Amino acid sequence: MIHSISKIRVRYAETDRMDVVYHSNYLVWFETARIQMLDQIGIPYREIEARGLFLPVLTVSAAYKSPARFDDHLEIHLFMHKKPRARMHFEYEVRRGEELLATGQSSHGFMDRSGRAQRPPEDLLQKIEAAWAATESI
């Protein structure tokens, strides 16, 4: 398993009139966590795109348990429980301290510039494997 944590401070612009974080911002935070995880394993998303590959969202969902509000300090936990084959699957938890505010999941496929499905590059799979092994040894 790979586990990555991104820290977010809720901006005023992310809230609605009820002082609650607007629901679509959680999806942006999920993306922030994915980009950070790719950086941490040594293959930045910009590098993936430079190779002519993209990771479009195939599915995404979120379940809201308790509202986040302006100026909250949050952690976005990303989990990769399955090693990728043709797709990458992620699960998310949004937490304010120990309190679970939301959960989510997303799946992504690799595609080239013309929109054709691609297999993940071997070096990316190797970096995921190395990150996986490092987590298991802890």
**Predicted confidence pLDDT, tens digits, the chain (138 residues):** 999 999 999 999 999 999 999 999 999 999 999 999 999 999 999 999 999 999 999 999 999 999 999 999 999 999 999 999 889 999 999 999 999 999 999 999 999 999 999 999 899 999 999 998 887 766
**Beta carbons of 68 and 94 less than 8 angstroms apart:** yes
Q: How far apart are the first and last CA of the chain?
A: 11
3-state secondary structure of 52: coil
Q: What pLDDT is attached to residue 137? A: 67
Q: What pLDDT is attached to residue 138? A: 61
Superfamily classification of domain 2-136: Hotdog Thioesterase (3.10.129.10)
> What ranges do the domains of the chain cover?
2-136
pTM score > 0.85 for this model?
Answer: yes
d(Cα 22, Cα 120) in Å, to the nearest integer? 33
| Sign of the CA dihedral with 115 first, then 121, 125, and 130 last | negative
| Of 55, 56, 54, 104, the residue nearest 76 (C-alpha) | 104
